[in-house]
Amino acid sequence: MDGTGLRDVLPPARLFIDGTWRESGDGRTRAVENPATETELTAVPVATAADLDDALAAAAAGFRRWRTTSAWDRSDLLRRFARTIRAEADRFALVMTLEQGKPLAQARGEVLASADQFDWYADEARRVYGRSVDGHDTSTRILVRREPVGPVAAFAAWNFPSLLTARKIAPALAAGCSIIVMAPIEAPLSTLLFAEVAERTGLPAGVLNVVTGEPAEVSRHLVASDVIRKVSLTGSVPVGVHLSTLAAQGLKETAMELGGHAPVLVFPDTDVRRAAEVCARGKFRNGGQVCIAASRFLVHESVADEFTEAFVAETRRLRLGDGRDPDTDVGPLTTAARRTAVGELVDDAVAKGARIEHGGGAPEDFQVGYYFTPTVLTGVSADMRVMREEPFGPVAPIAAFATFDEAIAVANATPYGLGGFVFTGDLTTAFRASEELEVGMVGVNHLTIATAEAPFGGVKQSGHGREGGTEGIDDYTVTKYVSMRLGDLA
Residues with active-site annotation: 257, 291
Residue 176 C-alpha from the chain's centroid: 22
Q: Which of 254, 318, 304, 246 is nearest to 275 (CA)?
A: 304
List % helix, strand, coil for the chain (3-state, nearest 5). 40, 20, 35
Count CB-CB contacts under 10 A for residue 482. 11
d(CA 384, CA 481): 52
Q: Which of 185, 164, 293, 160 is nearest to 232 (CA)?
A: 164
Amino acid residing at 117: Q
Taken in order 378, 379, 382, 384, the sign of the CA dihedral is negative
Count CB-CB contacts under 10 A for residue 218. 24
Q: Which of 366, 451, 334 is nearest to 97 (CA)?
A: 334
d(CA 1, CA 191): 21
Which residues does 370 contact at the CB level (< 8 Å), separation at least 6?
A: 35, 36, 38, 101, 332, 333, 334, 335, 336, 338, 339
d(CA 55, CA 429): 51
Contact 362, 135 (CB under 8 A): no
Which long-range contacts (C-beta less than 8 Å, at least 24 apart) are formed by 39-42? 41/6, 41/10, 41/98, 41/99, 41/189, 42/6, 42/10, 42/13, 42/189
The burial of 370, by beta-carbon neighbours within 10 Å (0-12 exposed, 13-18 middle, 19 or more buried), is given as: buried
Q: Distance between the two ends of the chain, CA-based, in angstroms?
A: 75
The H helix count followed by the E strand count for the chain is 16, 20
Local structure of residue 80 (DSSP, 8 states): H
For 131-193, the three-class secondary structure string (H helix, E strand, C coil) is EEEECCCCCEEEEEEEEECCCEEEECCCCCCCHHHHHHHHHHHHHCCCEEEECCCCCCHHHHH
d(CA 346, CA 336): 16
d(CA 207, CA 190): 18
Strand partners, 182: 155, 211
Contact 168, 181 (CB under 8 A): yes
